[in-house]
A and B are shown apart, each in its own frame.
Chain A
Amino acid sequence: MKLFGAEQERVLGSLYGAEAAEVYGALLRSLSVVLEEKVAPLSLALDQGKEEIDKPRRVLFEQGVCKLPHASEFGGMGLPFGVYALAMELAGAADASTAMSLGIHNTVADAVERFGSPEQKKRLLPALLSGKKLAAFALTEPSSGSDARAMHTSAVWDGSQYVIDGSKMFITNAGEADVYLVFAATATGHGAFLVEGANPGLKVGRALKEKLGMRGSRTAEVRLVKCQVSADALLGKEGAGFEQAKQLLDSSRIVMGMICVGIARAAYGKALAYAKGRELFRKKLADMQLTREKLAAAAIETSAARLLCMHAARLKEAGKPFSSEAAQGKVLATEMAVRTCDAAVQLFGGYGYTSDDVHRHLRDARLLTIGEGASEVLRMLIASQELERES
């Protein structure tokens, strides 16, 4: 399957103009060739636990995917966020687990770039953007996911250092990461702390292997037991942690939405090819009216989800508020991906139900209606912003 085609070229052209679209198109076309040849062939084995994620993730690091949206001062490429978002769609189509692992890693890089001190940026950004260091985002807790403000993890200043205690749950890249962005309650609100993976107070639980999907990525609990970090581990100001998390998640939701566009395209591409070849009642499956309804719905919804996510990306690039649009894009894209991947299983029939290579897309998509803001919580956020707008 061609990951980058005319549909994305047209989106680039309409959003960025012909000249810039040519430059960005060349980048994404080149990336898609590498993803098709080096990442997509590993995807099924990753789902089946027969391949390690480090291999495809390294390909994305070497290509420079993480560098796309970051400033050139610390090794980034300074390109529009939407170009990065489209790159993540391609990565999601090649392998959802790898794309998610990288996307979350890059949210931490985003955190350092936005809120970090000059010293933190210098120390961490080049290593994070090149992939020399891997990062994890530790916000969710066993008893607080969507209600992140209710976190129990605490960071107490003992006069010379912070001591962090608590537990973080469902942490992507846990056990592999070199640096963890840990959110904790402090005396003045919440704080975000950059904790080294080698810190003896940071303990990683067993990998959660019973996951429905995204089986290629590593997920585990992270415990912080009298975890001592110096003052320079604090990202930005103490008390700003919750606001930082909200801002980071706004951007990350665009990325997760685009990964889901990629997942849907991967499943849709397989179903389309199957429908063209499969015969029943002396007709091709693709010639059945109800099949065409499914294919058309998938095409409409994929385009709509991509455009809404890209609209949020363009607002972000322009420095305008985009929190509601990012949430809308994520809700639409993730729920669309579940519907599209389910339709793909249906079109394949028994072969879809019994084939990892078909139903894994549905299993992968299912996570993202929960992670990075569950659909229900995002609907609350969207509605509250609508109500504020009307009043």
Chain B
Amino acid sequence: MNIVVLVKSAVDEAELRADTAGHPVLKGAATKMSNFDMNGVEEAVKQKESNGGTVIVVTLGGAEAKKAIKEAMAMGGTRAVHVLAEPPDAPDSLGTAYFLAKAIKRLGEVDLVVCSEGASDTYQGQVGAMVAEFLDMPFLAYAKKVETEAGRIKCEQGFEGGVRVLEAKLPAVVSVVSEANVPRYPTLLQVMVAGRKAIEDITMASLKGDDYPETGMEVLDITLQSANRKRVLLDGSPEEASRKLVEALRREGVL
């Protein structure tokens, strides 16, 4: 089974800082593979382990995306393709999906494309569906369980109060949620081996055709929400402190 997994290098939100105007300081910010993509990679590797075949890691991003690719490779990727896109030339979601789909088409026969529900930094959740459209494949979204057998894919999709079961013929694109699996921790040896594997670089120019969708969606502004903590210390015996805590939570409308 030839499996493609889409990953994104995202800003490490744990280390994100805001400037005085509340804008995130993106220049020089630490990056890593988007947290949700760990579930995508895990699912792809699980499918490879049960069906045999390969897992090709595909990403679009700047030079920093190599780090995310290597993280995915350490988890079990067979090879990797990097569509180079340095800001300010990095495309919007539709453009990203276009280039990813073009890169996937170059890989030859692909049975399954796995992605996650969205990126941990922007969480737009658009690219997977758009890639499916460009590849003319069915899109099974938000899967919490994935099974593949005899050229078909079956997924469980959770919704509030129930489960929807979907089935489609392969090839298909599936997006997985974090319930789908528990991502593995690669060993240090796997990380080292992944670090030495070659990554195929592709330019956007080599993929761009007359069919490129010029949508030009722009992100005008990003501000971070700040939450001021109240830091209330409750003293007294455990009983007194518990009573005060309940009163304080009631005052805040939590209880």
Cα–Cα distance between A23 and B30 once the two chains are bound (Å):
16
Q: Which residues of chain A are within 8 angstroms of B218 by Cβ–Cβ distance?
A: none
Interface membership of A189, Cβ < 8 A = no
Q: Is A27 touching B192 in the complex (CB atoms < 8 A)?
A: yes
A2-B14 in contact given A26-B195, A279-B231 (Cβ < 8 Å)? yes
Q: Which residues of chain B are within 8 angstroms of A34 by Cβ–Cβ distance?
A: 185
A2-B231 in contact given A30-B191, A77-B188 (Cβ < 8 Å)? no
Interface membership of B74, Cβ < 8 A = yes
A57-65, A138-146, A293-301, A320-328 - the one binding chain B: A57-65
Interface membership of B79, Cβ < 8 A = no
The closest CB in chain A to the CB of B28 belongs to A6
Q: Which residues of chain B are within 8 angstroms of A65 by Cβ–Cβ distance?
A: 188
Interface membership of B156, Cβ < 8 A = no
A64-B187 in contact given A26-B67, A277-B231 (Cβ < 8 Å)? yes
A residues contacting the other copy or chain, number (CB 8 A): 24
Interface SS of A by simple majority = helix
Q: Is B231 touching A63 in the complex (CB atoms < 8 A)?
A: no
Q: Which residues of chain B are within 8 angstroms of A30 by Cβ–Cβ distance?
A: 71, 74, 185-186, 188, 191
B208-242 residues at the A interface, CB under 8 angstroms: 229, 231
Q: Is B185 touching A33 in the complex (CB atoms < 8 A)?
A: yes
Q: Is A23 touching B14 in the complex (CB atoms < 8 A)?
A: no
Q: Is A67 touching B231 in the complex (CB atoms < 8 A)?
A: no
The one of A6, A27, A277, A279 in contact with B191, judged by C-beta atoms closer than 8 angstroms, is A27
The one of A2, A27, A38, A278 in contact with B188, judged by C-beta atoms closer than 8 angstroms, is A27
The closest CB in chain A to the CB of B32 belongs to A29
Q: Is B15 touching A31 in the complex (CB atoms < 8 A)?
A: no
A277-307 residues at the B interface, CB under 8 angstroms: 277-279
| Residue interface bits B12-24, CB-to-A below 8 A is 1, else 0 | 0011000000000
Residues of A at the B interface (CB closer than 8 Å) are 2, 6, 22-23, 26-27, 29-31, 33-34, 38, 62-65, 67-68, 77, 79, 87, 277-279
Residues of B at the A interface (CB closer than 8 Å) are 14-15, 30, 32, 67, 70-71, 74, 185-189, 191-192, 194-196, 229, 231
List 16 other contacts, CB 8 Å, given A23-B195, A26-B195, A278-B231: A2-B14, A6-B30, A23-B196, A26-B67, A26-B71, A26-B74, A26-B194, A29-B32, A30-B71, A38-B185, A63-B185, A65-B188, A67-B188, A67-B189, A77-B188, A277-B229
